[in-house]
Amino acid sequence: METRNQEFEFKGGYLNGFLMCLIDIILWGLTIYLFIEGIIRADADEPCGWFFGLGVLVLLVAILCSCGFSMLEPNEAKVMTFFGKYVGTFRKNGFFWLNPLMSVKNVSLRARNLNGEPIKVNDKAGNPILIGLVLVWRLKDTYKAIFDIDTDVSAAGAVGNSSTARMAKFEHFVRIQSDSALREVAGMYAYDNEDSNNDSEITLRDGSAEINEVLTAKLNERLTMAGLEVMEARINYLAYAPEIAAVMLRRQQAAAIITAREKIVDGAVSMVKMALDKLSAEEIVDLDDEKKAAMVSNLLVVLCADEPAQPVINSGTLNH
């Protein structure tokens, strides 16, 4: 079988692990019997050479059989190589006996979470912001993951060649690539559209669904070469950087105050108009334009003020 630069299923031989346990026990028992029989015949000065020779041969076979047992749980795989040649990926679940001369690398195919620490980047408008993400990823192509990438063991904090250490190296690779993708995506959009006249523009604060899709696509572009797949990516932290957070907060407060004032004025004008119309309709008092202007001014001051109005008793008449 020729080695191909892609993953394929292992087609080599394997046996049921429980059956091989029984065979291995029989071989060890036969080895003990042959050596004991050889010793007895040697003490009796009878020919015993072939007992020891056969015993050594059976012993070697028993040792070889004892080294090939392997157990595989769901969503796990074994990448098989034979003297450096890739011979396939073994995915069958259960207890098996595999050729002990093959080199086996265990990997996990289960989904994993990565909660990245917020990083400081510049948005489309150049404002420094803090942004973080959380993503779900898994190993998809075992050949690319094992043979197409290499990671810094010390940086990943993983020691050894176990499945746990290997997956820690992959996570380190995902973390670095996710940082790069997040910086690129954050630079494509503004934090908000406060400084833009286009209310339909997608922003980091309001366009989460669209931005999450773009982020997932950018991550998969980077991780495909490593045989890894991002199933979901979401921005889970978004804020202005500390050096401009206070200024941006004042800007937001000013915008909120202006919006509130607009609503207060609209309501006050409606109430003044209603009061004038009711006074005129019920003929409670006859006001000329000058009196109406004074009344409108007083009502607007009362209705738009931040503090309660101080009542003043007028002892005169409207004619004075």
Number of structural domains in the chain: 3
Q: Say whether both 127 and 235 belong to one domain.
A: yes
The single-letter DSSP state of residue 75 is T
| Same domain for 158 and 137 | yes
137-185 pLDDT per residue, tens: 999 999 999 988 876 545 445 545 577 888 888 999 999 999 999 999 9
Specify burial of residue 177 (Cβ count, 10 A radius: 0-12, 13-18, 19+).
Answer: buried
**Residues contacting residue 257 through CB under 8 Å, at least 6 positions apart:** none
Q: Is 317 within a domain?
A: no
At 259, the amino acid letter reads T
End position of a domain, from candidates 105, 128, 148: 105
Is 153 a domain residue? yes
For 5, 156, 314, the CA distances from 144, given in Å and listed in that order, are: 8, 19, 90
Domain enclosing residue 202, as ranges: 112-240
pLDDT in tens, 60-116: 988 888 888 888 889 899 999 998 899 999 999 899 999 888 888 999 999 999 998
Structure tokens at 278: 């009711």
Q: What is the pLDDT of residues 188-245, one digit of tens each?
A: 888 877 655 566 678 888 888 889 999 999 999 999 988 999 999 999 888 888 776 6
Same domain, yes or no, for 231 and 269?
no
Count Cβ atoms within 10 A of the Cβ of residue 74 and give its class: 0-12 exposed, 13-18 middle, 19 or more buried: exposed
Q: Is residue 229 part of a domain?
A: yes
Cα gap 234→21, rounded to integer Å: 49
Residues 154 and 65 in one domain: no
Residue 3: band (very low, low, confident or very high) from pLDDT cuts 50, 70, 90? very low
